[in-house]
Amino acid sequence: MSRSVGYVVGLLMILLGLIWIAQGSGYFPYPASSFMINQSIWVLWGIIMAVAGLAVTIIVSRLRRRG
């Protein structure tokens, strides 16, 4: 069960990172009053979050192979 939780957490981190990248770059301006729209720092935070989520997913998949 913990592997499933790890996958879900990793995928949610990737999704959240992609949303932050889209908002920070202005491609996803929702909600219109969001402080994240067109702010390049959120692109950086989004990249960091997505890479961390990818790392979590890879680590969980390697733990699964070991047994």
Model confidence band, residue 67 (pLDDT cutoffs 50, 70, 90): low
| Residue 42 is assigned to a structural domain of this protein | yes
| Residue 1 is assigned to a structural domain of this protein | no
| Residue 3 is assigned to a structural domain of this protein | no
Query: Range of 46's domain?
Result: 14-64
| Residue 6 is assigned to a structural domain of this protein | no
pLDDT of 4 higher than 80: yes
Matching residue, tokens 């979590």? 56
| Residue 28 is assigned to a structural domain of this protein | yes
**Would you say the C-alpha torsion 31, 42, 50, 23 has a positive or negative sign?**
positive
**Structural domain count, the chain:** 1
pLDDT digits (tens, 9 = 90+) for 9-55: 999 999 999 999 999 998 988 888 888 898 999 999 999 999 999 99
